[in-house]
Structure 1
Amino acid sequence: MIARYSRHEMSGIWSEDNSFDLWLKVEIAASQAWTDQGVVPKSDMAKIRNAKFDRAAYDRLFEETKHDLVSFTQAMGESLGPERRWVHHGLTSNDVKDTALSMQLAQSCDLLDRVIVDLLNALRIRAIEFKHTPCIGRSHGIHAEPMSFGMKLALWFVEMKRNRARLAAARIRVAVGMLSGPVGTFASVPPVIEESVCEQLGLAPAEVSNQVIQRDRHAEYVQVLALVAATLEKIATEIRSLQRTEIREVEEPFAKPGYVTKGSSSMPHKRNPELTERICGLARLVRGHSVTALENVALWHERDISHSSAERMILPDASLALDYIMSLMTGIISDMVVHPDQMMRNLEATRGLVFSPRVMLLLVEKGVERTNAYDAVQRCSMRSWDEELDFRELVKTDPAVASKVSPQDLNDLFDY
């Protein structure tokens, strides 16, 4: 992910330095497990525990081997003496790499959870703030019935709560380790080593594995990220629409510290919804990566590495993009400008038509058959649309309505 759309902490999680650090932790934990089983001498383990990873040595070795894990273990071994023979004992490459990747995914989930909590808090605060602020609800883009603006925010709040639960469930399924040797048979490393390493690293052992941790776990992680991104895109799309000049019920923060200060290079009056547009664009990226993650599930036999090249891109990019747009959305929700007066003007723009369902229901309650009540109210509604007449005055003078409902009862209906 380019630096423009990356935040520092998530960038650190998906950095090569963190990957190598986690590989080192796995290798040291494995040596400790062998020591506990009496295979590796304690004196050797004391030295292995202090092993270092030298990036320059790794780069030099990788030029020769073109194999990242071989180069890593050799570079690690250069900081050791004869005890280096125990490094990577009984393991295969993905025992280390997949277990370390699981730790990265867990770290990513933990950070994303904190960011979700920040967004939930922002949504909760604004939902309470606008709990009693009336606005028009729209279906098919057309005025429907009155609602409160706080209700929109509450809807987003509970959806993000569901997303948080999904992320927590995905974390459980990705936070698994595997140290089962070639093709997962434990022929070269007993299950007790896997159990020990996973316990040391805070992971659960995979119930069954072959030579890789199964990619349905990783696919689920990316699917959850795509779902969260879809929610953010939904919120962003609504804010963008409500910021249109003809509506102008809300606006992104503009010309505030940390936000856009210029809307156009040629039109000085412009205040564009650039931040929510950015969220929509990056949500598409995350959603696209979910397809690749699904395609990574099917590998040949006990393993191939067709997934590897794709994962090196989609896992960091999806994580970084979601972290960025979720943080961006938190700021937008916290600082967006809301125009209650404009909401009221929009409510009144259709001359009372938004109360047509109430009139119909009252007629039914007064004994009018529902179809007849609907037809009578629709007749008045269409006249109001076509002739730009006040809907309340039309229903008051319509014989089918006036014969059943008093003017006072009608007046009581037209209240937000």
Structure 2
Amino acid sequence: MNVAQTTDMTPETLFSPANLWQSWLDVEVALAHAQADLGIIPDWAAEGIAAVANVETLGLEALEAEAARSHAPINALTRVVAARAGPAGAYVHWGATTQNVMQTGRLLLMRRAQGALRAHLAGAVDCLAGLADSHAATPMMGRTNRRHALPISFGFKVAGWIEELDRAADRIVGMEKRVFVLPFGGAVGAMHAFEGRGRAISRRMEQDLNLGALLVPGRAVNDLFADYVVQLALLATTFERIATELYALMSEEIGEIAEVQGAGTVGSSTMPHKVNPKLVVHVMAMAADLRAAAAPAMQGALTLHEGDAAANHLVVRVLDRVCPLAWTLARAFETLCKTVRPLPDRMLVNLSDSPAYAASERLMMLLAPILGHIQAHDILQQMLADAPPSRDALAARVVALPALRGAISADAVTEALDTRTYLGESERIALEAAIFGRDLAARLRAGVSGAQEPQEGRTGNEAVAEIGAESGIGAGAG
């Protein structure tokens, strides 16, 4: 077994004891092969180590029992491998130190989670691209400062989400070259035990484990883990912002978005009429939790000298929470995007609720060549200040303005105030975003290594049940 080849890994099992032990064994095998290639240890010793470096072969109970006795997991691993590998066991962990192995193993598991996260992000972006495409011209009210602003299309709104997710994807992919590097430099990072061949050993291990290089592979380089967590926290911020907006659009008063939850979903144990949003609030809660991890991760980067156990323990605690959480969050966000149902009829009703002023900017620009921009603005603002008139009444008042001298007809004013046709370049932007989003999803998938494919065809009920089982989604019902 090799953690890079394991196919059944999940957020819940990512840092399971078996996977952690196996990741450390994989590092020991890479070290042995690198040293055998350089003639530092015999070839037969590397092969003997590799032959037994499997949790199933060694026995998880044996590894954990030895670790419980020594309070030193890698020392325990070395002893159990040595006992099982015969003469080859004398060469295991040759010149390495505990943190080299534990940190590198954890990076291998983090990279597995990263691949899955990218796959789920690709699935979410694909879904949003479909919404941007199909609703490129679906009119709705744009809102600024929680007030009606100008009409847009729903596809335009989704286009903004796609572009924001692209920036988030750029950050999490960009940090991979900084984070997934080999921190393997011996006791203090200067490769003392390798007799001048430390760099050569590292190069071979980097190739074997598919990790980048560090000039100073020390034990105090926790800033790379802080980088990892901060980028995930920013991704969570984007997820949360989109989910929060969806949640607001699901409110009774707006009602422009619904979750497709499937028949039989219960919203409240006391109010039979209620079917509460389920998935969106779960995403919001998880995203807030992940955002909060940025501060302790940065605290863990404040290491002292060439090694700092206190900082390292803090970093491990943060990573143990953040990696599975980020994976689960990305999966839940993809599911949310698949269950979002726009309600165009309700969007049109809300758009019609303010017929006199939602397109007032277009009317102002119609008047501006005759009255000047400032005067046109002030006249309309005054007309709309107290009790906004109906569209026809406003048109009549505008046409009667002496300063216009009959230059603009009532039909032209009425047409200018039609909110359904004043969408700016929403449709073009949405259609371009749909193309861009599908390309982004393809690029994310192209970089995925060993990630599980998102599950297709799940119903809303199945999605709710899965997420509910993970975190008690029923909490707060009603």
- Same fold per TM (> 0.5)? yes
In structure 2, the residue matched to 1:202 is 210
Task: Output the CA distance in 2 between the equivalents of 1:390 and 1:84.
Answer: 88
Q: 2:124 aligns with which of 119, 127, 131?
A: 119
Counterpart residue type for residue 161 of structure 2: W
Counterpart residue type for residue 294 of structure 1: M
Q: Equivalent residue of 1:337, what SS? A: strand
Counterpart residue type for residue 396 of structure 1: A
Task: Output the CA distance in 1 between the equivalents of 2:243 and 2:158.
Answer: 12
Q: Equivalent residue of 1:266, what SS? A: coil
CA contact (8 A) 1:396 1:402 kept: no
**How do 1:90-239 and structure 2 match up within 5 A?**
90-189=95-194, 190-212=198-220, 214-239=221-246
Shift of 1:207: 2.0
Shift of 1:8: 5.5
Greater alpha carbon shift after TM alignment, 374-383 vs 42-51:
42-51
Task: Output the CA distance in 2 between the equivalents of 1:339 and 1:178.
Answer: 52
Instruction: Find out whether 1:250 has 2:257 as its counterpart.
Output: yes
Shift of 1:141: 0.9
Counterpart residue type for residue 352 of structure 1: A
Shift of 1:414: 2.3
Task: Output the CA distance in 2 between the equivalents of 1:154 and 1:37.
Answer: 54
Task: Output the CA distance in 1 between the equivalents of 2:52 and 2:260.
Answer: 50
Q: 1:263 aligns with which of 246, 260, 267?
A: 267
Task: Output the CA distance in 2 between the equivalents of 1:59 and 1:17.
Answer: 10
Greater alpha carbon shift after TM alignment, 161-170 vs 147-156:
161-170
Counterpart residue type for residue 244 of structure 1: S
Counterpart residue type for residue 390 of structure 2: D
Counterpart residue type for residue 206 of structure 1: L
Deviation per CA, 1:357-410: give whole Å up to 9, x if none.
1111111122x132211110001111434xxx3144224224437545321221
Instruction: Find out whether 1:360 has 2:364 as its counterpart.
Output: yes
Task: Output the CA distance in 2 between the equivalents of 1:17 and 1:96.
Answer: 15
Q: Equivalent residue of 2:193, what SS? A: coil
Shift of 1:330: 2.0
CA contact (8 A) 2:357 2:417 kept: no
Shift of 1:331: 2.2
CA contact (8 A) 2:391 2:414 kept: no
Shift of 1:114: 0.8
Instruction: Find out whether 1:396 has 2:396 as its counterpart.
Output: yes
Counterpart residue type for residue 243 of structure 2: A
Task: Output the CA distance in 1 between the equivalents of 2:223 and 2:320.
Answer: 17
Task: Output the CA distance in 1 between the equivalents of 2:302 and 2:185.
Answer: 20
CA contact (8 A) 2:222 2:312 kept: no
Q: 2:381 aligns with which of 370, 378, 381?
A: 378
Q: Equivalent residue of 1:12, what SS? A: coil
CA contact (8 A) 1:126 1:150 kept: yes
Task: Output the CA distance in 1 between the equivalents of 2:227 and 2:373.
Answer: 48
In structure 1, the residue matched to 2:428 is none
In structure 1, the residue matched to 2:324 is 320
Instruction: Find out whether 1:26 has 2:24 as its counterpart.
Output: no
Task: Output the CA distance in 2 between the equivalents of 1:303 and 1:63.
Answer: 24
Deviation per CA, 1:199-234: give whole Å up to 9, x if none.
11111221223234x112111111111111111111
In structure 1, the residue matched to 2:450 is none
Task: Output the CA distance in 2 between the equivalents of 1:392 and 1:79.
Answer: 90
Shift of 1:315: 1.6
Task: Output the CA distance in 2 between the equivalents of 1:148 and 1:72.
Answer: 60
Task: Output the CA distance in 2 between the equivalents of 1:379 and 1:62.
Answer: 78
**How do 1:284-323 and structure 2 match up within 5 A?**
284-323=288-327
TM-score for both structures, normalised by structure 2: 0.80
Q: Percent identity?
A: 26
Shift of 1:155: 1.2
Shift of 1:253: 1.7
Counterpart residue type for residue 30 of structure 2: A
Task: Output the CA distance in 2 between the equivalents of 1:402 and 1:266.
Answer: 61
CA contact (8 A) 2:49 2:81 kept: no
In structure 2, the residue matched to 1:40 is 41
Instruction: Find out whether 1:277 has 2:281 as its counterpart.
Output: yes
Task: Output the CA distance in 2 between the equivalents of 1:254 and 1:199.
Answer: 46
CA contact (8 A) 2:45 2:88 kept: yes
In structure 2, the residue matched to 1:342 is 346
CA contact (8 A) 1:54 1:75 kept: no
TM-score for both structures, normalised by structure 1: 0.92
Q: Equivalent residue of 2:12, what SS? A: helix
Greater alpha carbon shift after TM alignment, 137-146 vs 214-223:
214-223
Shift of 1:308: 3.1
CA contact (8 A) 1:27 1:87 kept: yes
Shift of 1:69: 1.5
Q: Equivalent residue of 1:26, what SS? A: helix
Deviation per CA, 1:38-77: give whole Å up to 9, x if none.
2212222221121243321222212221112211211222
In structure 1, the residue matched to 2:76 is 71
Q: Equivalent residue of 1:13, what SS? A: coil
Q: How many residues align?
A: 402
